[in-house]
Every structure is written in C-alpha cells, then in structure tokens.
Amino acid sequence: MSLMTWTVEQHGTNVSFADNEHQQVFQNLNILYDIRIAGAGNPEIVAQLKVLLDIVAAHFAHEEQEMLAKNFTGYERHKIEHDELLDTCTAMQIKIEEGELELTERICQLIKTWFDSHIPEYDRAYSQALNTN
Ligand SMILES: [Fe+2]
Ligand SMILES: [Fe+2]
C-alpha cells in the first residue's frame, strides 16, 4: 500500500520540473513507508530517510532558485515553509539515527499531510510566475 499517489488534480502545478520532482519525493516517501511496514531495521530506515530528505532538500532548493530568478513575490513566505519542514525532519532524523525515536505511522502521515497541503497552497501559487518568460 502506497502512502502517497501523485495526481494532477490534487498535486499538479503546471510546472514540469516541480511535478517531476514531487513524484520523485512521493516515490521515496512510499519506499520509506513500505520498508517500515515490512519491518525494516533502524539502519535501513535511516538510509532511506536520508535518501528522501536529500531529494526533498534538492527539490526545495530548485524551487527557491526558480522563484528568485522570476522575482516571485511569495518567495520569502514560501522559503520559510520549506525551512520549517526541513528543520523538523532533520531533528527527527537525528533522533531516529540515535535510536531515540521510531519512525511511526503518525510521522509518515505528518509528512504526507505537509505535501498534500503545501503543493496546492504554495507551489501552485508560483505556477504563473514560473511560466512567464
Ligand atoms: Fe514543491
Ligand atoms: Fe514548495
């Protein structure tokens, strides 16, 4: 069972790099979710969590670079949202690595909910700006 399924209705931004990268993020969140369900040990969880967070960080950096290049007015607020998620996830990652925290269903759902709300609310908002030459 996948945690997240990308659909154009729910997640489409009309910006192709963003849609591609969002699908990559979802795929890697699904892998993390599935290995957890299958009973993966801590080293495997930690390794996949790192893969996921690297992809998320690269995606955020890409969006930020494109927003800046187009002088998008929503950049500052958008970047704060990105930084907050990365800070939260990095703190969780350290605790999981140290064996102080377990990757739970609730944590996976929190990440899913964040993307389900961020993409329509924040990412769709840059669509017009990023599609303007
Ligand atoms: Fe995004
Ligand atoms: Fe974003």
**Helices (H) and strands (E) in the chain — how many of each?**
6, 0
Question: How far, in Å, is the centroid of ligand 1 from the Cα of 26?
Answer: 11
Domain total of the chain: 1
Q: How many CB atoms lie under 10 A from the CB of residue 61?
A: 11
Residue 26 is assigned to a structural domain of this protein: yes
Q: How many CB atoms lie under 10 A from the CB of residue 43?
A: 9
Residues spanned by the domain of 102: 15-130
Residue 3 is assigned to a structural domain of this protein: no
pLDDT score of 19: 98
Residue 108 is assigned to a structural domain of this protein: yes
CB 96 within 8 A of CB 45: yes
CB 66 within 8 A of CB 131: no
Question: How far, in Å, is the centroid of ligand 2 from the Cα of 79?
Answer: 7
Tell me the pLDDT tens digit for each residue of 84-133: 999 999 999 999 999 999 999 999 999 999 999 999 999 999 999 999 87
Question: How far, in Å, is the centroid of ligand 1 from the Cα of 106?
Answer: 21
Residue 68 is assigned to a structural domain of this protein: yes
DSSP type of residue 73: T
Domain of residue 92, CATH code: 1.20.120.50
Residue 6 is assigned to a structural domain of this protein: no
Q: Is the pTM of this model over 0.95?
A: yes
